[in-house]
């Protein structure tokens, strides 16, 4: 949805970490993006390349780890796997679902030089 | 430029004045890009520190364990931080400020043309003596802030330039510029956009999604993130129901599908129908904010206590 702002957020976290941990070049960035986070991996890569140009992360490889979506179905009273945000429960068809996982957007780790 | 929605940074203005970006703010990067020298210095500094830190390598992560100068000393750094952490920190700061002042703040989100500004003008005039301040978000022009000021309420305009949403940093700046009154109401009119503002917490008590009957009833399932993030949906322009083909029940059912707990109030800013329920919602929220302020520790006493610790 707003991958440009997210890519800037990623670069900001990288720059903060560079100051604290004293590294000067980032070669790979691992992001953990939930399947229900509404983030397009391709758009994210495109924006990341644009935002990091001229920074310490220029040319860094962006690895996106997709985490599966899970939700609590109120009707079944159980946790179910959910591939589509706001989709129906795969076992009972109800829409009374609360997303419990798979909506995260995190910078997991970096390979730095 | 974002390929999905076209959003970008830069050009943020609050009441026509450019926002001074501090080091902690994300939009600084754009300026850094243009400055090649700064980066060159950064690299040099980093290289001198590289060797000292090569000892921290966890064996499974170290692609090269050479400690010899000039060799590739790559290592892994654990971050484990939410991408929106910075925005959320600014939002938490805004929320604390609002709590200390007992202000009930709402973030109004909708597509362009749903009647947000007209509804705000009507709300302000019907609230009478209740102190209200407004933060207006638009890509360009200060027309909306001027419309609000005409009602007598203080308003500040944020122009996001190419940006497609307000963020907590911009709102914090706008809050500083507005002379916020204790126990008042703060209404933040976000940029007309049903996608991006959903993810950005501004420090508000609630997001309010506005859907007008001249739009499609299926918008809640087309743009589910926004209706999921909102605690209240205002169905606006209901005076036009006889002239449009809008299925109210379907719209409400769709919104409940994405957000089972969403409250719905049907209003018309033109005919005032339903406005009493909306005003009661605002007054209830203000009462809750006032109670929360009384129950939280006095910020002045808290600050004195913090300063006294080292003494």
CB A47 within 8 A of CB B2: yes
- For residue A104, give the chain B residue with the closest CA: B82
Cβ-Cβ contacts under 8 Å for B107 (sequence gap 6 or more):
B166, B188, B190, B197, B202, B204, B206, B207, B208
pLDDT tens profile B228-282:
999 999 999 999 999 999 999 999 999 998 888 999 999 999 999 999 999 999 9
- Per-residue pLDDT, A1: 55
Q: Is the dihedral of CA A25, A30, A32, A37 positive or negative?
A: positive
- For residue B253, give the chain A residue with the closest CA: A95
pTM: 0.77
- Residue B107: phi, psi to the nearest 5? -110, 105
The candidate with the shortest Cα–Cα distance to B203, out of B243, B234, B172, B249, is: B172
Domains and their CATH numbers in chain B: 85-295 (3.40.50.300)
- Buried b or exposed e, range B193-212, using 16+ CB within 10 angstroms: bbbbbbbbbbbbbbbbbbbb
pLDDT tens profile B12-31:
888 888 776 544 433 333 33
- Per-residue pLDDT, B37: 37
Inform me whether the pLDDT recorded for A96 exceeds 70: yes
Neighbouring C-beta atoms of residue A3, cutoff 10 Å = 27
- For residue B30, give the chain A residue with the closest CA: A51
CA distance B260 to B253: 9
A18 reaches B (C-beta below 8 A) = yes
- Give the strands of the sheet with A70-73, arranged side by side: A78-81, A70-73, A97-101
Interchain CB distance below 8 Å, B82 and A106: yes
Q: Nearest-CA distance from A104 to chain B in Å?
A: 8
CA distance B78 to B80: 6
Interchain CB distance below 8 Å, A85 and B224: yes
Inform me whether the pLDDT recorded for B60 exceeds 50: no
Return the structure tokens found at B203.
Answer: 């420090």
CA distance B253 to B251: 5
CB B132 within 8 A of CB B151: no
Domain boundaries of chain A, sorted by first residue: 3-68+101-112
CA distance B12 to B16: 9
pLDDT tens profile B138-196:
989 999 999 999 999 999 999 988 778 899 999 999 999 998 999 999 999 999 999 88
Least confident of B57-61, B195-199, B216-220: B57-61
Q: What integer is the mean pLDDT of A100-106?
A: 90
- Per-residue pLDDT, B58: 40
Inform me whether the pLDDT recorded for B66 exceeds 50: no
Inform me whether the pLDDT recorded for A88 exceeds 90: no
Architecture (CATH level 2) of domain A3-68+101-112: 2-Layer Sandwich (3.30)
Residues of B within 8 A of A95 (CB-CB) are: 257-258, 260
Inform me whether the pLDDT recorded for B71 exceeds 90: no
Interchain CB distance below 8 Å, A23 and B75: yes
Mutation target vs A (from B23, B36, B79; most A CBs, 10 A cutoff)? B79
């Amino acid at each position: 949805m707003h991958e440009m702002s997210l890519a800037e957020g990623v670069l900001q976290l990288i720059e903060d970490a560079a100051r604290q941990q004293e590294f000067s070049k980032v070669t790979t960035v691992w992001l953990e993006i939930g399947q229900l986070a509404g983030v397009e991996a391709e758009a994210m890569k495109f924006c990341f390349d644009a935002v990091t140009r001229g920074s310490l992360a220029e040319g860094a490889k962006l690895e996106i780890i997709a985490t599966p979506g899970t939700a609590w179905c109120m009707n079944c009273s159980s946790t179910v796997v959910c591939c589509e945000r706001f989709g129906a429960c795969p076992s009972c068809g109800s829409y009374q679902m609360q997303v419990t996982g798979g909506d995260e957007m995190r910078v997991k780790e970096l390979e730095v030089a | 430029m974002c390929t999905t929605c076209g959003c970008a940074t830069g050009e943020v203005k609050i009441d026509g004045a450019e926002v001074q970006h501090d080091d902690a703010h994300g939009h600084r990067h754009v300026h850094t890009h243009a400055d090649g020298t700064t980066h060159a210095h950064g690299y040099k500094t980093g290289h001198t520190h590289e060797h000292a830190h090569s000892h921290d390598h966890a064996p499974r992560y170290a692609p090269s364990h050479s400690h010899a100068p000039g060799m590739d000393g790559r290592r892994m750094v654990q971050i484990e931080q939410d991408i929106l952490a910075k925005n959320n920190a600014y939002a938490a700061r805004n929320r604390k400020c609002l709590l200390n002042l007992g202000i009930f703040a709402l973030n109004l989100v909708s597509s362009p043309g749903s009647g947000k500004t007209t509804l705000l003008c009507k709300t302000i005039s019907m609230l009478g003596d209740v102190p209200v301040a407004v933060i207006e978000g638009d890509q360009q022009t200060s027309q909306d802030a001027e419309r609000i000021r005409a009602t007598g309420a203080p308003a500040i305009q944020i122009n996001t330039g190419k940006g497609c949403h307000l963020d907590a940093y911009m709102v914090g700046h706008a809050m500083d510029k507005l002379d916020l009154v204790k126990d008042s109401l703060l209404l933040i009119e976000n940029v007309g956009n049903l996608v991006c503002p959903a993810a950005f917490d501004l420090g508000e008590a609630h997001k309010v999604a506005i859907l007008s009957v001249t739009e499609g009833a299926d918008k809640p399932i087309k743009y589910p993130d926004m209706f999921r993030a909102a605690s209240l949906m205002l169905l606006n322009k209901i005076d036009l129901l006889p002239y449009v083909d809008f299925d109210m029940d379907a719209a409400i059912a769709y919104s409940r599908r994405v957000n089972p707990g969403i409250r719905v109030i049907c209003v018309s800013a033109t005919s005032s129908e339903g406005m009493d329920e909306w005003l009661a919602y605002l007054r209830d929220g203000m009462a809750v904010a006032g109670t929360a302020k009384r129950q939280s520790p006095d910020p002045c006493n808290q600050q004195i206590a913090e300063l006294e610790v080292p003494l």
